[in-house]
Structures are given as C-alpha cells and as structure tokens.
Homo-oligomer: A and B are copies of this chain.
C-alpha cells in the first residue's frame, strides 16, 4: 500500500479566504485570544467545519514556542509498579491539551541521559522522570529552565520536585505489623542491593526492630532483585541454611509471589507455617491464595499527581516535593506464629 500526501492540508489561510477574514482573525477565534465580531466568528467556525480544518500543532508550536507535550522518561523493565506510574501519567494528562511523549531509559544511566536529551530536543514543555538514576546535577543541567517532576525517587536537593514513596515508613509498617502479630524471627528478602527503595525498606525493617528493643537475626537477611524468581531463590536459600523463621517480608509483591511458591513446593503453608508480607499491592495481590497482606504504593495515583504537578508548574505554579505514605493492606497472608 502506498501513502500519498492525500489532498493538500487545509490551513488557516484557506479558512481565512473562505470566511472572508484575515489569518489573524482566524487564529483569534480558534484560540479565544481576542474578541471578534460575532458574524466573522461564525463565518470562521463554519468554514472550519466545512473544510474539516484541524490546526497544525507543529506550526503552532514553532510559532508559540510551546510544544504542548510533556516528556516522560520511563524505565522499561515491565515492573508493575513503574508501569502503573506511566499509566497514571497518561491518564492524568488525558484531559489537558498536553500529550505525553515517552522515552525509555532502561535503567541505564547513559540511555537515560540520551533519552532526556531527545525529549529536550523535542522542546517538551515539561518533563516527568520516573525512577532512574541520572545524577541530580545532570538533571539540573539538561532540564534547566524546564518544569520537571521526578516520580518514585527522592533527590535531596531542593532544586528538584519529587513525588516519592516513603519507603522507610513503608518497611517500618510492614515489619511492625509482623512484630505485633508476635513474630520475632522475621526474614527479609531485600530488593536490588543498592536500589534506594530496597535500602529504605530495609531501614524501616531495622527501625521497627529497634523500636521494639529487638535485634533482627542477620542470617535472616537475604538479597533479591525484586523479581519473582529471586523470591524463590531467597526462600530456598533460607531453607537450606536450616534457620528458623516464622515470617517473611518481601521486597515487593512479585518476590512475595515467588516466595509463596517456593514455600508451597516445600510443603509449607502460608500463613499457617510462615507469614508473608509484600510491598506494592499490585492488582493481582488481592486475588492470590491467600490474598497477600502488603504495603500499598499508590503507583497510578502517583503518576496522576505527577501530571497534575507538571501541568501546574508549566502554568507557572508552585510545587514542593511530596512524600506519599504507604498503607498497610491487611489480608490473609499473615497470622500469629504457631507456638
């Protein structure tokens, strides 16, 4: 199949001619940017409809200096959490005149920097950075003068606008709940070793222990990478070490699923033999067996908030970094330990 240019696109010049007015007048009624005489206004609108005119956004952008787009940098790893944020951004921009334009950072710093560069080259009016690890300075440099919101990441510098989860308190919430239920030997499957979210959740775990005047058993701390597979590995490792534990706090729901499966394969039941708590509250977590107790991260909501923030910043508004708190969602994967 061949794609021709079709008929020549209709421009405001055509409209102007048909309506018997000037280009500027057409522009004015189209943008409600000045009052025009009712009859001319009507003529323009009619011509617009009759000719099936749709304004060329590109030309408009060039002339006005605003592209009506916001750049979104994602990290395409298929993590339910990050995906949900992207979806939230698309949804949040839905009712505005701005469209999101995506680039993929693949969790690799150089790719991320390139991607931001590409977005900047497209003259986006705002930028939403989801996760990623681009250094603060680099962001400042590339996005200087450009409204920018960083989601799911907290950059200490007050130059940046961030919307991030309070992972420390999230980890604390989960662990405290386990402690309250009577657990003392609580294993933790950590996320990626240097990933800030993982580090923070672990800090929350320790904090809960400290507060209770207890010390976690270091042998019960095992590393993972947020994948289901790593949950399986972690449990197998724990079991092979032959250590006693009555509960597991997994880095995220996905690794909790893996842990649950590994436990099941060893004939151990959740929560009868081992209690299990996750982190995220992804869609599926309420429907696995048993429904997973977890800490909810309002991912989609964070994406939505980010788009609101960016829209607001573009309009010249203010925004200050926000930490969103996790919420403990109690379902059925945690029970008091058997004596």
Instruction: Using CB atoms and an 8 Å cutoff, list the residues of chain A in contact with chain B.
Output: 1-6, 54-59, 61-62, 67, 69, 74, 76, 78, 80, 83-84, 87, 90-91, 94, 99-104, 106, 117-123, 144-147, 161, 228, 231-232, 254, 257-258, 260-261, 264, 283-284, 286-291, 300, 313, 316, 318-319
Quick one: copies of this chain in the complex? 2
Known contacts A5-B145, A83-B83, A144-B6; A228 and B287 CB within 8 A of each other = yes
What are 9 A-B contacts defined by CB distance under 8 Å?
Answer: A3-B145, A58-B58, A58-B67, A76-B87, A78-B300, A99-B122, A101-B101, A232-B287, A264-B289
A104 close to B90 (CB less than 8 A): yes
Closest partner residue, chain B, to A92 (CB atom) = B104
In the complex, A87→B86 CA distance in Å?
10
In the complex, A62→B100 CA distance in Å?
20
In the complex, A228→B318 CA distance in Å?
40
| Minimum C-beta distance from A252 to chain B (A) | 12
Closest partner residue, chain B, to A300 (CB atom) = B78
B101 close to A99 (CB less than 8 A): yes
B287 close to A261 (CB less than 8 A): yes
Which B residues are CB-close (under 8 A) to A257?
Answer: 284, 287-288
The interface residues of chain A, by DSSP majority, are classed as mixed
B90 close to A84 (CB less than 8 A): no
Closest partner residue, chain B, to A83 (CB atom) = B83
Known contacts A90-B102, A99-B102, A289-B261; A228 and B3 CB within 8 A of each other = no
Closest partner residue, chain B, to A282 (CB atom) = B284
Which B residues are CB-close (under 8 A) to A90?
Answer: 74, 76, 102, 104
Closest partner residue, chain B, to A123 (CB atom) = B58
Closest partner residue, chain B, to A290 (CB atom) = B264
| Minimum C-beta distance from A146 to chain B (A) | 7
Which B residues are CB-close (under 8 A) to A313?
Answer: 1, 3
In the complex, A310→B54 CA distance in Å?
23
Please name 10 further chain A to chain B contacts, defined as beta carbons within 8 Å, in addition to the given A54-B121, A58-B122, A254-B284, sorted by A numbering. A1-B318, A56-B121, A57-B122, A78-B283, A94-B103, A100-B101, A231-B287, A261-B287, A261-B291, A288-B288
In the complex, A231→B161 CA distance in Å?
41
Which B residues are CB-close (under 8 A) to A59?
Answer: 62
Q: A-B pairs with the 9 shortest C-beta distances?
A: A6-B145, A257-B287, A228-B287, A101-B101, A57-B122, A264-B289, A58-B61, A54-B121, A94-B104
